[in-house]
């Protein structure tokens, strides 16, 4: 599938906040959330349309790097967008946001768009972190904020797409140096190669999800 | 619900457990057996089948173990492999990889995991040649490997590493992608290798070291080196900072590599570290980085990088890597080594007959990684192991160096002893020379002599250079580069390098002690590195010059280093002479700042803002060295986007900011070295401020009741109180009469007050908190409408706030001038202020309460503490100012009243002045204006003049008071409030309000109507004016005069 741009995302946050589930929810419509099945994936891609342009989002979960500083910083650096996720039913995951954000700001390129995601909004009864707290944190640190649920798929689309929109706007404004691949943005191949079997999957998944 | 469950009969629908069941898996198995060959017709079906199997398996792992039994029993993995190996199977590859990813990511039960890993199927998949040109396939594949590596531990390692066949596909396949063009893939590869190294399994680690370490590490080091050379080229060919984007990328990549190497070293796997250290030191750090420090002019066969890049990279190495064997050897070479190590040493090694890997040279590995790995595989286990060889190389060096260096060290030791004696003996004579730092070239000469034991003073610098180049050329280069004559381009790097070395835990302190760079004090800590200290002080001196080329980061780092050199826990061992020089530098910085000091209000904001940002963001050398911008020659323009501290100032405002910061830094340093506490800065200290929930004694304080309506609509009853620096909203304390609990406190100086359009009893008050991070938007801590019981209270409140704001600001300005040793003179600005403030205490019914009386630990003292004012910093100053300014204020009449008496002439002159534009009016009044908004003020004066019709002159005393009030008011009206026009016929009350709050007559209509009034002075109108006037005095004075 030909695309105008490819944006690389990373998902960060404490373990168990549902990063890989969010990722799967967004990238593969074929896996529908079911109550007795928790399923996630560490890599995925999906095509979306912004402003009439095909944009491919490639999302990397950063799990498994926790003990290695070098890996953390490298992941940050290669991404154009980051979803910083916490779990509304676990206060500690919210408390760790500052550390995550500090890390992200330090290691990422300064234009990286960071979205704060309060996940598991379906578990209202076990909520420990108020929505207002998340909003306040986001406001104070200049992040976009959204409450999502990977379980019910609520707001998952919006979270990824809004981030993409912001990146796209930054590109339009000329803030991002798109020729520098380290920014996590790639310009699509000039000549699309339809029918290449390898690209089949992306296409198929995108079919379900295009907004 | 029914509709749904019905729909699953058609393939797509799925709901509930029907989809996830053993039966369903059996059905899927059936599909697989029917479609063993992939065709165009069945491939979509196969993809969906595999996808469903994935779901069922994960569901089974979480809910029903029989699912996995079935999967294993039927050996369903084989179907996957079978599909994979078919030519047309490529189509299904993506799905298979996703499935594998999901399985290994989501399977939690160990038994399930073992099932999946058994039979070597996974290894067959790992070595399968997928179509890696496809981004998605590549992504899934590398993530698959990464997931597997996460699952690796001493139990599972046997599924991957086969001791007998010497196969470790997971590792060898992964490292083949170590220089893949896609960044994320490279990161994943590094992640995988680290996960593997972390597993403590001896046979596996032996395999890695014997079979893969040399090829992998030599290629890795070469790859890094290539990057470095590219980076250097980028620096050298840069014009106008155009290469910055590329450079940023290269620097980050280099840092990624360094951090990766450090992560390997941290795992502390001894065999690996030996090989890695050897390669890193002898193939990259020494031959490329260190070698490039000297002899730049001599042509050489060897590849080189420019010295600034070399210094930068070396600092990064010391900042990042703390592995003792590596950093010790490297530090040793820089501090003690000479060039011989690049020639004789190499020969030496060759003579020893060791492998050519040990030659200190930056060269390309013989073969590519892939080829080496292939060859190693073929050689098999029987072949002679290289291991002892590498080991020996490492050891041999460790052994060699001391034996060679010992002699040198002894010699140096003697020299050092001699010199230290010499230094002590001749100390007195030197000190005289060193007093004046500007002429300290001479001093430097003598210190160079001390160090190098050279006698020829005439050509000491050059001679020393020549002499020492045989001895310690690298250290010498470091010292000589500290000199910042032109600019501080190199100086910053050297400071960073010294900082990094001194903060490196891995370096043996005794090595650093030789140059007195040790963080921990030497046994008898009374000596320090004079050369270094003097050069540091010179940098400070230099930075306090008006045209200085020293960047703030350089200065800050110099300060840090100096403190580190002479300050040990309790002791400061700096010599008086050096301290005196430093004080000189501090003096200079005061002079420099005085040059920029202006009475402008903005100066205060800048002053406080700079302090805040300095305090909140102290220099982090590590972060500094991540910034590529310092690799390019220092520039001044902010258009580059370079952080302020890392470039030179541009324009007057930035020069002021710079001067402020230089002042702060040198002041802090000087206080620090003299062991004096900071008592003046910051101007506002958190602990002196009233905080929420403080309980204050408000007896005798002025309180205004009001209703506070916040933006969200909350409504509360509060009392407004104004303190020296703050306004606070209190509610009565239930326990004690006359005391109040603070519910909100905000700084007056950050406050904005505006009137409300249609309510004369209300004020809009906003207080912004200065932004803490550059990312956050300024965020108001208070944004509310205050409603008072009547418009009089409203005016009083408005005035009090305005006055408080001015007073708070003025007080701080006074303290700044005190800090700058400027005489706290009763300048005319101060006169105006002092005048109004004294008169205010006389005439106006409000008074600042001197001290926030809090209920703290000692309640008894609190009650009697009313008079003790010195607890608030600056209050004492403010007090004496007040006293000071009383006398001049009382004798001459204030400027406004004198001007008004002059202009009480003919009507037409008044009219012209009214109709003329504010800018023309401004000039005469500007001089006497002390307000932050002079234009507003001048307009006010004009309106004042208009009002001072001859008939008014009799009330001169009142007039005087009026002018005082007007003097205060302008800061209240930061924004135009055009809604209430100056002349409003229907509401005399609002007129009186406005003549007090002084709305500038921006509304042209009001001006017109005004001139109209003057031309045809209707009695009633005039009367109205007069009434208004009286109203004002009445409300302000509290006396009934009508």
- DSSP conformation letters of B462-511: HHHHHHHHTT-HHHHHHHHHH--SS-SHHHHHHHHHHHHHHT-TTS-HHH
* pLDDT for B937 beyond 60: no
Cα–Cα distance measured from residue B209 to residue B203, given in angstroms and rounded to the nearest whole number:
10
Residue B282: φ, ψ to 5°: -90, -15
User: Which tens digits make up the pLDDT trace of B266-275?
Assistant: 888 887 888 8
* Termini Cα distance of chain B: 85
Cα–Cα distance measured from residue B217 to residue B193, given in angstroms and rounded to the nearest whole number:
12
Q: Provide the mean pLDDT of chain A.
A: 83
Contacts of B190 in chain A (CB under 8 A): 70-71, 74
Lowest mean pLDDT among B131-145, B428-442, B862-876: B428-442
Asked if B106 and A78 come within 8 Å (Cβ–Cβ), the reply is: no
Q: Of B244, B775, B777, B779, which to mutate for an interface test with A (greatest number of A Cβ within 10 Å)?
A: B775
* pLDDT for B1009 beyond 70: no
Band of pLDDT at residue A205, cut at 50, 70 and 90? very low
- B262-265: list long-range contacts, CB under 8 Å, 24+ apart: B262/A69, B262/A70, B262/B320, B262/B321, B262/B322, B262/B323, B263/A68, B263/A69, B263/A70, B263/A71, B263/B194, B264/B193, B264/B194, B264/B197, B265/B321, B265/B323, B265/B326
Lowest mean pLDDT among A36-40, B447-451, B515-519, B671-675: B447-451
* pLDDT for B867 beyond 50: no
- Strand residues in B738-815 grouped as ranges (E): 739-747, 751-756, 759-769, 779-788
Are B316 and B330 within 8 A, CB to CB?
no
Asked if A31 and B55 come within 8 Å (Cβ–Cβ), the reply is: yes
Are B838 and B808 within 8 A, CB to CB?
no
User: Which tens digits make up the pLDDT trace of B501-514?
Assistant: 888 888 887 777 76
Q: Which residue has the tokens 């499935």?
A: B99
Cα–Cα distance measured from residue B302 to residue A8, given in angstroms and rounded to the nearest whole number:
40
Nearest to B640, CA basis, from B247, B353, B137: B247
Lowest mean pLDDT among A7-21, B224-238, B387-401: B387-401
Q: What pLDDT was estimated at residue B983?
A: 36
Nearest to B341, CA basis, from B285, B380, B299: B285
Q: Of B21, B191, B241, B643, which to mutate for an interface test with A (greatest number of A Cβ within 10 Å)?
A: B191
Q: Is B728 left (phi over 0), alpha (psi -120 to 50) or beta?
A: beta
Q: Of A7, A10, A16, A37, which to mutate for an interface test with B (greatest number of B Cβ within 10 Å)?
A: A37
Cα–Cα distance measured from residue A27 to residue A40, given in angstroms and rounded to the nearest whole number:
11
Chain centroid to Cα A120, Å, comes to 16
Cα–Cα distance measured from residue B848 to residue B879, given in angstroms and rounded to the nearest whole number:
12
Q: What percent of chain A has pLDDT over 90?
A: 40
Distances (CA, A) of B174 to A40, B165, B370, B552: 23, 18, 11, 45
Q: What pLDDT was estimated at residue B575?
A: 81
Cα–Cα distance measured from residue A54 to residue A171, given in angstroms and rounded to the nearest whole number:
14
Q: In chain A, which among 69-98 make CB contacts under 8 A with chain B?
A: 69-71, 73-75, 77-78
Q: What pLDDT was estimated at residue B250?
A: 87
Q: What pLDDT was estimated at residue B837?
A: 36
CB contact set of B71 (below 8 Å; sequence gap of 6+): B25, B53, B57, B60, B77, B115
Band of pLDDT at residue B462, cut at 50, 70 and 90? very low
Pairing of strands A113-119, A81-87: parallel
Pairing of strands A53-61, A81-87: unpaired
* pLDDT for B376 beyond 70: no
Q: Shortest CB distance from A64 goes to which of B106, B195, B623? A: B195
Are B732 and B892 within 8 A, CB to CB?
no
Q: What percent of chain B has pLDDT over 90?
A: 4
Residues in chain A, overall count = 211
Residues in chain B, overall count = 1042
* pLDDT for B246 beyond 70: yes
Query: Computed from CA positions of residues B36, B41, B45, B46, in that sequence, does the dihedral angle turn out positive or negative?
Result: positive
Q: What pLDDT was estimated at residue A146?
A: 92
Can you read off the two tokens belonging to residue B460?
């000491």
User: Which tens digits make up the pLDDT trace of B1-37?
Assistant: 443 333 333 444 444 447 778 888 888 888 888 888 8
Are B783 and B949 within 8 A, CB to CB?
no
CB contact set of A72 (below 8 Å; sequence gap of 6+): A62, A65, A66, A103, A107
Q: What pLDDT was estimated at residue B941?
A: 41
User: Which tens digits make up the pLDDT trace of B74-104?
Assistant: 888 888 888 888 876 667 888 888 888 888 8
Chain centroid to Cα B190, Å, comes to 29
Residue B90: φ, ψ to 5°: -50, -35
Can you read off the two tokens belonging to residue B173?
């396949």
Q: What pLDDT was estimated at residue A1?
A: 65
* pLDDT for B645 beyond 70: yes
Q: Mapping DSSP to helix (H, G, I), strand (E, B) and coil, where does residue B1001 land?
A: coil
Distances (CA, A) of A172 to A10, A50, A51, A176: 22, 12, 11, 8
CB contact set of B41 (below 8 Å; sequence gap of 6+): none
Q: Is A140 on the interface with B (CB under 8 A)?
A: yes
Are A198 and B133 within 8 A, CB to CB?
yes
> DSSP assignment, residue B634?
P
Nearest to B843, CA basis, from B972, B993, B960: B960
Count the Cβ atoms, other than its own, within 10 Å of residue B85. 10
Q: Is B594 on the interface with A (CB under 8 A)?
A: no
Contacts of A142 in chain B (CB under 8 A): 773, 775-777
Cα–Cα distance measured from residue B202 to residue B210, given in angstroms and rounded to the nearest whole number:
12
Nearest to B54, CA basis, from B98, B120, B23: B98
Q: Taking residues B744-754, report their average pLDDT.
A: 83
HSE (side-chain half, CA atoms, 13 Å) at B91: 16
Q: Is A53 left (phi over 0), alpha (psi -120 to 50) or beta?
A: beta
* Termini Cα distance of chain A: 17
Query: Computed from CA positions of residues B890, B891, B895, B897, in that sequence, does the dihedral angle turn out positive or negative?
Result: positive
Q: Provide the mean pLDDT of chain B.
A: 68
Cα–Cα distance measured from residue B270 to residue B387, given in angstroms and rounded to the nearest whole number:
13
Asked if A68 and B263 come within 8 Å (Cβ–Cβ), the reply is: yes
Cα–Cα distance measured from residue B788 to residue B796, given in angstroms and rounded to the nearest whole number:
10
Q: Is the peptide bond between B363 and the residue preceding it cis, with omega within 30 degrees of 0?
A: no
Q: In chain A, which among 40-69 make CB contacts under 8 A with chain B?
A: 40-43, 45, 58, 60, 63-65, 67-69
Q: What pLDDT was estimated at residue A169?
A: 92
- Give the residue, B368 or B281, on which the prediction is more confident: B281
Nearest to B269, CA basis, from B315, B180, B330, B208: B208
User: Which tens digits make up the pLDDT trace of A157-201?
Assistant: 999 999 999 999 988 888 877 777 778 888 887 644 444 443 344
Q: In chain B, which among 75-114 make CB contacts under 8 A with chain A?
A: 90-91, 93-95, 98, 101-102, 105-106
Asked if B136 and A75 come within 8 Å (Cβ–Cβ), the reply is: no
- How far away is chain B from the Cα of A18, in angstroms, using its nearest Cα? 12
Q: Is B53 on the interface with A (CB under 8 A)?
A: no
A-B CB pairs within 8 A amount to 153
């Amino acid at each position: 599938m030909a695309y105008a741009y490819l944006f690389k995302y990373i998902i960060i946050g404490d373990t168990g906040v549902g990063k890989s589930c969010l990722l799967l929810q967004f990238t593969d419509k074929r896996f529908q959330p079911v109550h007795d099945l928790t399923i996630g994936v560490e890599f995925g891609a999906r095509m979306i349309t912004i402003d009439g342009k095909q944009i491919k989002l490639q999302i990397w979960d950063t799990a498994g790097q926790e003990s290695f500083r070098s890996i953390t910083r490298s992941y940050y650096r290669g991404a154009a967008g980051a979803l910083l996720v916490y779990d509304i039913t676990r206060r500690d995951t919210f408390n760790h946001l500052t550390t995550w954000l500090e890390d992200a700001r330090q290691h990422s390129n300064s234009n990286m768009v960071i979205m704060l995601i309060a996940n598991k909004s379906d578990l209202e009864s076990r909520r420990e972190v108020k929505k207002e707290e998340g909003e306040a944190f986001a406001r104070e640190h200049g992040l976009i904020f959204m409450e999502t649920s990977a379980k019910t798929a609520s707001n998952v689309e919006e979270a990824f797409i809004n981030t993409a929109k912001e990146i796209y706007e930054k590109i339009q404004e000329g803030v991002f140096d798109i020729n520098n691949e380290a920014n996590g943005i790639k310009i699509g191949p000039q000549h699309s190669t339809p029918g290449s079997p390898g690209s089949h999957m992306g296409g198929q998944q995108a079919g379900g999800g295009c907004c | 619900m029914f509709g749904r469950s019905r729909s699953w009969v058609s393939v797509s629908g799925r709901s509930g457990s029907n989809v996830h069941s053993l039966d369903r898996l059996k059905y899927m198995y059936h599909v697989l057996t029917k479609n063993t060959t992939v065709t165009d017709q069945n491939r979509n079906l196969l993809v969906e089948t595999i996808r469903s199997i994935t779901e069922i398996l994960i569901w089974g792992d979480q809910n029903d173990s029989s699912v996995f039994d079935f999967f294993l029993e039927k050996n369903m993995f084989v179907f996957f492999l079978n599909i994979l190996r078919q030519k047309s199977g490529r189509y299904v590859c993506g799905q298979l990889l996703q499935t594998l990813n999901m399985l290994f990511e989501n399977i939690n039960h160990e038994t399930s995991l073992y099932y999946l890993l058994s039979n070597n199927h996974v290894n067959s998949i790992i070595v399968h040649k997928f179509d890696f040109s496809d981004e998605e396939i590549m992504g899934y594949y590398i993530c698959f490997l990464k997931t597997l590596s996460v699952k690796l531990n001493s139990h599972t390692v046997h599924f991957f590493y086969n001791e007998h066949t010497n196969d470790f596909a997971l590792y060898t396949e992964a490292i083949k992608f170590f220089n893949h063009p896609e960044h994320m893939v490279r990161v994943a590869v590094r992640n995988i290798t680290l996960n593997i190294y972390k597993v403590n399994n001896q046979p596996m680690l032996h395999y890695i070291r014997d079979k893969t370490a040399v090829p992998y590490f030599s290629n890795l080091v070469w790859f890094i080196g290539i990057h470095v050379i590219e980076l250097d080229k980028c620096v050298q060919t840069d014009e106008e900072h155009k290469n910055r984007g590329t450079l940023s990328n290269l620097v980050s990549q280099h840092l990624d590599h360094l951090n990766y190497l450090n992560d390997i070293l941290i795992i502390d796997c001894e065999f690996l570290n030996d090989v890695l250290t050897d390669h890193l030191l002898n193939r990259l750090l020494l031959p490329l980085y260190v070698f490039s420090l000297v002899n730049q002019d001599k042509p050489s066969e060897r590849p080189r990088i420019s010295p600034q890049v070399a210094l930068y990279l070396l600092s990064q190495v010391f900042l990042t890597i703390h592995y003792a064997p590596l950093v010790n050897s490297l530090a040793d070479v820089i501090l003690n080594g000479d060039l011989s190590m690049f020639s004789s040493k190499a020969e030496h090694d060759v003579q020893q007959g060791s492998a050519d890997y040990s030659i200190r040279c930056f060269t390309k590995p013989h073969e590519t990684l892939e080829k080496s790995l292939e060859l190693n595989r073929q050689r098999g286990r029987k072949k002679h192991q290289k291991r002892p060889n590498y080991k020996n190389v490492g050891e041999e060096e460790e052994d060699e160096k001391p034996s060679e260096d010992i002699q040198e060290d002894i010699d140096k030791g003697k020299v050092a002893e001699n010199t230290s004696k010499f230094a002590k003996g001749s100390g007195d004579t030197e000190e005289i020379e060193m007093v004046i730092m500007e002429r300290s070239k001479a001093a430097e000469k003598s210190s160079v002599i001390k160090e190098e034991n050279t006698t020829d003073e005439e050509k000491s610098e050059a001679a020393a250079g020549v002499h020492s180049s045989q001895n310690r050329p690298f250290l010498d280069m470091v010292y000589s580069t500290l000199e910042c004559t032109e600019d501080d381009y190199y100086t910053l790097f050297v400071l960073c390098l010294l900082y990094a070395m001194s903060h490196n835990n891995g370096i043996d302190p005794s090595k650093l002690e030789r140059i007195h760079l040790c963080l921990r004090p030497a046994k008898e800590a009374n000596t320090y590195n004079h050369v270094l200290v003097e050069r540091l002080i010179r940098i400070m001196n230099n930075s306090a010059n008006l045209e200085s080329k020293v960047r703030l980061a350089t200065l800050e780092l110099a300060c840090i280093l100096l403190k580190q050199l002479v300050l040990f826990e309790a002791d400061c061992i700096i010599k008086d002479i050096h301290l005196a020089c430093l004080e000189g530098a501090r003096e200079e910085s005061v002079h420099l700042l005085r040059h920029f000091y202006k009475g402008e209000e903005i100066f205060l904001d800048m002053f406080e803002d700079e302090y805040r940002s300095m305090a909140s963001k102290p220099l982090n050398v590590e972060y500094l060295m991540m910034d590529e911008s310092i690799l390019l020659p220092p520039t001044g323009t902010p258009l580059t986007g370079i952080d302020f501290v890392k470039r030179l100032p541009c324009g007057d405002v930035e020069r002021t900011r710079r001067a402020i910061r230089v002042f702060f830094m040198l002041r802090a340093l000087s206080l620090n070295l003299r062991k004096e506490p900071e008592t003046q800065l910051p101007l506002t200290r958190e602990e002196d401020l009233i905080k929420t929930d403080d309980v204050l004694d408000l007896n005798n304080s002025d309180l205004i009741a009001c209703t506070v309506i916040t933006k969200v609509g909350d409504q509360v009853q509060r009392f407004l109180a104004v303190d020296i620096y703050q306004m606070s909203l209190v509610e009565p304390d239930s326990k004690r009469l006359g005391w109040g609990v603070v519910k909100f406190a905000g700084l007056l100086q950050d406050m904005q007050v505006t009137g409300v359009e249609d309510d004369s009893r209300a004020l809009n008050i906003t207080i912004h908190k200065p932004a803490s991070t550059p990312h956050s938007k300024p965020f108001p801590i208070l944004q509310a409408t205050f409603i008072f019981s009547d418009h009089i209270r409203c005016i009083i409140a408005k005035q009090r706030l305005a006055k408080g704001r001015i007073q708070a600001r003025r007080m701080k300005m006074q303290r700044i001038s005190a800090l700058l040793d400027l005489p706290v003179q009763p300048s005319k600005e101060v006169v105006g202020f002092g005048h109004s403030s004294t008169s205010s205490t006389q005439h106006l019914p409000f008074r600042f309460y001197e001290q926030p009386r809090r209920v703290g630990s000692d309640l008894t003292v609190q009650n009697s503490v009313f008079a003790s004012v010195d607890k608030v910093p600056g209050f004492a100053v403010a007090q004496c100012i007040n006293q000071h300014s009383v006398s001049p204020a009382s004798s001459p009449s204030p400027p406004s009243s004198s001007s008004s008496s002059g202009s009480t002439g003919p009507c037409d002159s008044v009219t012209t002045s009214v109709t003329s534009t504010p800018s023309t009016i401004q000039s005469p009044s500007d001089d006497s204006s002390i307000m932050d908004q002079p234009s507003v003020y001048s307009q006010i004066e004009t309106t004042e003049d208009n009002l001072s019709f001859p008939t008014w002159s009799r009330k001169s005393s009142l007039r005087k008071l009026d002018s005082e009030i007007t003097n205060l008011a302008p800061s209240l009206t930061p924004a135009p409030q055009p809604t209430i026009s100056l002349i409003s016929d229907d509401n005399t009350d609002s007129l009186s309000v406005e003549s007090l709050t002084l709305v500038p007559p921006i509304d042209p209509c009001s001006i017109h109507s005004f001139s109209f009034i003057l031309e045809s002075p209707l009695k009633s109108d005039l009367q109205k004016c007069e009434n208004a006037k009286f109203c004002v005095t009445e409300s302000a004075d509290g006396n009934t005069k009508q």
